[in-house]
Amino acid sequence: MKFWQKMYLSVLIVFLIAFDLGAYGLLKKSYQLNEQLDISRGVTEFRSIEKSLSYILSEYTEDTGNINYEPVIASFAAHYYKDDILLEIYQADQLIFSNAYQFVGDRAEQNGDPYKTVYRKMNDELWLFIGGKMDFKDLKLVISRNSDYLQEYYVTLRQYFITLSFVISLILSAALIFLLFQLTAPIRKLNKGVKAIAAGAYDQRVIIRGNDEFGELAQDFNRMVDAVSNHIETIKKVSEDKEIFINNLTHELKTPITAIKGYSEFLNHANFNEEERKMAVHYIYEHIARLDVLSGKMMQLLYLKSEQITLEPVNIEKLFSYVVNMERHHIEEKQMKIKYECIAEVVYGDQELLQSLLINLVENSIKASLYGEEILLRSYHYHEGVVLEVLDYGRGIPEKDIAKITEAFYVVDRSRSKELGGIGLGLSICNQIAQLHHAKIQIDSKENEYTRVSIYFTTL
């Protein structure tokens, strides 16, 4: 059962019970008051009849000495009969006159002193009996009168209340349904939104205006969805990155494996000449070397991912001179020059990792540069941190590739990169090292003009 239906039924039931109880009480009280009125009227009548009859009888006895009262009473009673009042006269429990219906049963009113009233139902009609001693001798008088109007009144009123409660119920139902429908509209809206989001539409939000509980709930719910969808996004991104990484790694492994497998098969089974043999052996050797580099870099990358480093002060000048010394051979090979200037002197980090980072960057620069060109290493202060910079005037990076260049295995020009022995992990490693230092790598480049890689260290 829906909430609004429950609400509707509960309100309706409570109202009906309350209304009917009230109506019943009112009815009872009203009937009681009417009955009292009826009785007091009856009693007044009884008194006046008793007085008149006692007087008439005493006069009659005095005048005639006759003790046969019946004719007197009969004519007297006939007078009241017109007013629908019936009389019974008893003398010492002996009925001496009656124009009322006779019936057997307890006649408590006979013993009334001065009077007693009893309501009786006879033939489905209500009668009021009032009885009591008369002043005259030991006679007893019982008058009875039809009081059925009381019952009719009661029935009419009850009928009225039933109709009233029915009509009010109808009006109330309509009003309740309308109100409840309006009031529960936010719940339905919320429900719809929740269902949509549960079905995977994480970009949807529930829109409910107002500051009531529903509005609050909707806001809280939206906040929850925000949090959940953020988490999902992160998880998706991570798993996508992982998949891309693994795909790239597989691809990266496939080529050397294909070459080694193919050439060894060739050497084993084919009818080759000396030149072909040399070529095959050369390729096998070259691709084993490539696998070696790949596994080394992979190990480094995996190691970096799990490492926590301690930041210690590193002298930048020493760092630069170490890197320059390490790359001396490559530099000389291409008749290049490398210069460095240190405005900032100290950076906080892990010395070996920073060396590895700079060597990677300088090697990239050497590969990108032509014979005789120059590479510049710089350090300077920037806001509260230190920046290390590697600048070359080589072939540069196309603008569309700059954003992707730190992704694992991404190389701008595959065939050229392979010739230079690159496998696309260098910048990925650099990025990892930078992250361990809470540093950011920024790459500016213009094709065929320059490439500037800046590492912003935020920790002093």
Partner 1 sequence: MAKILIVDDEKAINDLIAVNLKMVGHEYVQLYSGDQILKTLNEIRIDLVILDVMLPGRDGFEIVQDIVKRNVPVIFLTARNKVTDKVHGLEIGAEDYIIKPFEAVELIARIHVILRRNQKVANEFRLDGTVVELEKHTVTVHGQEIEMTNKEFRLLDFLIQNKNIALSREKIIEQTWGFDFYGDTRTVDVHIQKLRKKLNWETRIKTVYKYGYRLEV
Q: Which residues bind partner 1 (CB under 8 A)?
A: 250-251, 254-255, 257-259, 261-263, 265-266, 268-272, 276, 279-280, 283, 286-287, 413-415, 418
Minimal distance, residue 269 CB to partner 1, in Å? 3
Yes or no: say if 341 and 304 are a contact pair by the CB < 8 Å rule.
no
Please say which residue, 143 or 280, places its beta carbon nearer to partner 1.
280
- Residue 13 vs 270, nearer CB to partner 1: 270
DSSP-derived secondary structure for 415-432? HHHHHTT--S-HHHHHHH
- Least distance from C-beta 284 to partner 1, angstroms? 9
114 preceded by a cis bond (ω within 30 of 0): yes
Q: How far apart (Å, rounded) are the C-alpha atoms in residues 211 and 218? A: 10
Nearest-angstrom CA–CA distance, 452 and 381 = 16
Residue 55 or 272: the one with the smaller Cβ distance to partner 1 is: 272
- The nearer residue to partner 1, 15 or 266, going by C-beta atoms, is 266
The two beta strands, 337-342 and 312-315, are unpaired
C-alpha span between 360 and 453 (Å, rounded): 11
Find the angle CA(446)-CA(448)-CA(453) to the nearest 5 degrees: 45
Residue nearer to partner 1 on the CB measure, 121 or 254: 254
- Please report how close the Cβ of residue 398 comes to partner 1 at its closest, in angstroms: 13
CA distance 111 to 118: 12
* Residue number with CB closer to partner 1 (82 or 269): 269
Nearer of residues 154 and 266 to partner 1, judged by Cβ: 266
Nearest approach, Cβ of 192 to partner 1 (angstroms)? 36
- Give CA separation, 48 vs 70, 228, 234, in Å: 19, 93, 103
Is residue 286 a contact partner of residue 412, using CB atoms and an 8 Å limit? no
Q: Which amino acid is at 255?
A: T
Q: Rounded to the nearest whole angstrom, what is the least distance from the CB of residue 255 to partner 1 in the complex?
A: 5
Task: Name which of 175, 165, 137, 145 is nearest 58 in CA terms.
Answer: 137
Tell me if residue 231 falls in helix, strand or coil.
helix
Of 133 and 395, nearer to partner 1 (C-beta) is 395
Q: Which residue, 283 or 380, has its beta carbon nearer to partner 1?
A: 283
153 CB-contact burial (10 Å; exposed 0-12 / middle 13-18 / buried 19+): middle
The residue whose two tokens read 């005493």 is 58
Q: Supply the minimum distance, in Å, between the C-beta of residue 253 and partner 1.
A: 9
Using alpha carbons only, what angle is made at residue 339 by residues 338 and 345, rounded to the nearest 5 degrees?
135
Place of tokens 């008793």: 50
Minimum gap (Å) between residue 302 Cβ and partner 1: 22
User: Minimum CB separation from partner 1 for residue 451, in Å?
Assistant: 20
Q: Provide, rounded to whole angstroms, the least separation between the CB of residue 296 and partner 1.
A: 20
d(CA 1, CA 392): 75
Q: How far apart are CA 325 and CA 337, in angstroms?
A: 12
- Which residue's structure tokens are 């009996």? 129
- For residues 45 and 401, which CB has a smaller minimum distance to partner 1 in the complex? 401
User: Among 451, 354, 438, 358, which Cα is nearest to 405's?
Assistant: 451
DSSP 110: G
**Residue that is written with structure tokens 């490398």 in the block:** 338
**Closest approach of partner 1 to the CB of residue 455, in Å:** 30
Block residue for tokens 């892990």: 350
CB closer to partner 1 out of 79 and 278 = 278
Q: How far is the CB of 395 from partner 1 (least distance, A)?
A: 15
